[in-house]
C-alpha cells in the first residue's frame, strides 16, 4: 500500500447515560427488533403466497404502519433505527441466497443483543459528550482521543449486559512506520499454544491459566445450582423461574462476558506484539475452523482459542500498518515439511509434538518448524 492511503479504523466507547436516556435507548432497541421481526414476517407471508418480496415495498408498508394509531410509539425513536433494521434483514437474505448463512430467524427479547443504529449525520462529539439523535447528549468514557469534525460510518449503540457501548468507524491515514524488509513472520496457530512465530515468540494458551480455570469452576458451580433450583421449584411438568434463578442466571451471563473479554483482550495483546516487530509480511495458514469444530474431542478447545478472531485482528492490523498479509492454502504441508532440507514426512502424526527429519536428522518443535516453513513460503 502506498503512503498516505486512508484505512478504516473501528472505535468503541463506553456510554454513561442518565436513567431517562437509558429508557430511550431500550425503546430504540425494541423498535429496531420489532421492525426486523415485522419485515421478516411480511417476507414469509409473501413467500407462502408465492409473491416476490421487495425491501423498497416493505419500507413503504412500514411507513404506513407508523401512521396508524396503535403503532405511533414507533415515532418516538429515530426513523433511521427502523430503516437500518429492515436493511439488515435484506443483507441477511442476500447472505442466505449466496449460501453464506442460514435462513434469517426472528429476534427475541431474551436471546437477541440489544442494539440499534445511530444516525451518522447527527452524531458528533464534544470533550466528554456525544450527541445521539432523539436521545440527546450522552456522557461517555474512553482512554483515547476521538477524531472530531470527520465522517463517522456505521455507528451502532449496543448493551453488553453491563453497560451501553457506542461503536463506529473512522477513516484515518495508515501507519507510516518503516517496515523491516528482511523480516517475514510465519504464524502457526494451535491448541497447545495459541501462536508460535518464526522469530521465536511463543504465545501460550490463556485458557490454561489459573484465572480462567477459576472462572470456569465458578461457572460450573452456578450452572449446577440453577439446575437444582429448577428441579426443586418444578410444578408438575412445568419449570418455574424464581427471583433466585434470575439472579443466578445474571451471574452466569457476567462470567461468560468476563471470559469472552479476557480472551479477546489477550488476542489483541498477542496480535499487537507481533505487529510491533513491523515485518514486511505476515504469513498464516488458512485454517478450516468449521471442519475442525466437527472433532468432538477438540471442538471446545478450538472455540475457546478464537482462531477466527485472531485472523481477523491480524488482518486488519496488517492493513493499517501497510504489512503484506498472506493466507496460505490449508493443504500446504507446513507441519510435515523439514524447514532445513525441505523433506516432506508424510507419516507425521498429530500427537508427534517434535519433528524429526528422516533425511537430514533435524530435531525441532513441530509448531516452530511449521512457522519457519510459513515464513519462507513462496507463491511461485
Taking the C-alpha atoms of residue 299 and residue 303, their distance in angstroms, rounded to an integer, is 6
Residue with cell 477466527: 308
3-class DSSP assignment, residue 276:
coil
Strand partners, 13: 166
- What is the model's pLDDT at position 379? 60
Query: pLDDT value at position 4?
Result: 57
Predicted confidence at residue 286, as pLDDT, reads 86
**Nearest CA-CA partner of 35 in 152, 111, 116:** 116
- Supply the pLDDT for residue 1: 41
pLDDT at res. 2: 47
Could you tell me where the beta strands, DSSP code E, fall in the chain?
6-16, 115-117, 124-125, 129-132, 136-141, 153-159, 164-173, 180-189, 193-197, 202-204, 279-285, 324-328, 354-356, 363-365
Q: What is the mean pLDDT of each run of 10 residues along the chain (380 residues)?
A: 66 94 95 96 90 86 92 92 94 92 91 91 89 94 82 91 91 80 92 92 94 96 94 86 91 92 95 94 87 83 90 91 90 86 82 83 88 83
Supply the pLDDT for residue 315. 92
How is the chain split into domains, by residue range?
Answer: 1-174, 180-328
Amino acid at each position: 500500500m502506498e503512503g498516505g492511503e486512508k484505512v478504516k479504523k473501528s472505535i468503541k466507547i463506553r456510554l454513561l447515560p442518565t436513567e431517562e436516556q437509558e429508557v430511550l435507548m431500550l425503546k430504540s432497541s425494541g423498535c429496531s427488533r420489532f421492525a426486523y421481526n415485522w419485515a421478516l414476517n411480511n417476507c414469509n407471508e409473501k413467500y407462502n403466497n408465492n409473491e416476490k418480496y421487495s425491501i423498497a415495498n416493505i419500507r413503504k408498508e412500514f411507513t404506513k404502519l407508523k401512521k396508524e394509531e396503535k403503532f405511533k410509539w414507533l415515532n418516538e425513536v429515530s426513523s433511521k433505527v427502523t430503516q437500518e433494521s429492515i436493511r439488515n434483514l435484506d443483507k441477511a437474505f442476500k447472505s442466505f441466497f449466496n449460501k453464506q448463512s442460514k435462513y434469517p430467524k426472528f429476534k427475541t427479547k431474551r436471546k437477541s443483543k440489544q442494539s440499534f443504529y445511530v444516525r451518522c449525520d447527527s452524531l458528533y462529539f464534544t470533550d466528554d459528550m456525544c450527541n445521539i439523535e432523539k436521545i440527546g447528549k450522552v456522557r461517555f468514557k474512553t482512554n483515547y482521543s476521538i477524531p472530531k469534525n470527520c465522517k463517522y460510518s456505521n455507528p451502532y449503540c449496543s448493551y453488553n449486559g453491563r453497560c451501553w457501548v457506542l461503536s463506529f468507524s473512522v477513516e484515518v491515514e495508515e501507519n507510516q512506520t518503516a517496515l523491516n524488509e528482511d523480516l517475514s513472520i510465519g504464524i502457526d496457530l494451535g491448541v497447545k499454544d495459541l501462536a508460535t512465530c518464526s522469530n521465536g515468540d511463543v504465545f501460550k494458551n490463556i485458557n490454561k491459566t489459573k484465572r480462567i480455570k477459576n472462572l470456569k469452576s465458578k461457572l460450573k458451580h452456578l450452572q449446577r445450582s440453577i439446575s437444582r433450583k429448577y428441579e426443586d421449584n418444578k410444578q408438575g411438568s412445568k419449570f418455574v423461574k424464581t427471583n433466585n434463578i434470575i439472579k443466578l442466571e445474571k451471574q452466569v451471563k457476567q462470567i461468560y462476558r468476563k471470559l469472552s473479554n479476557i480472551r479477546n483482550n489477550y488476542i489483541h495483546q498477542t496480535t499487537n506484539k507481533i505487529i510491533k516487530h513491523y515485518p514486511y509480511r505476515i504469513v498464516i495458514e488458512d485454517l478450516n475452523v468449521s471442519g475442525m469444530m466437527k472433532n468432538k474431542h477438540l471442538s471446545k478447545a478450538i472455540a475457546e482459542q478464537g482462531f477466527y478472531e485472531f485472523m481477523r485482528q491480524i488482518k486488519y492490523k496488517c492493513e493499517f500498518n501497510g504489512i503484506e498479509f498472506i493466507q496460505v492454502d490449508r493443504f500446504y504441508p507446513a507441519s510435515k515439511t523439514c524447514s532445513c532440507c525441505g523433506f516432506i514426512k508424510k507419516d507425521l502424526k498429530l500427537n508427534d509434538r517434535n519433528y524429526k527429519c528422516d533425511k537430514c536428522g533435524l530435531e525441532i518443535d513441530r509448531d516452530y518448524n511449521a512457522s519457519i516453513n510459513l515464513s519462507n513460503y513462496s507463491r511461485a
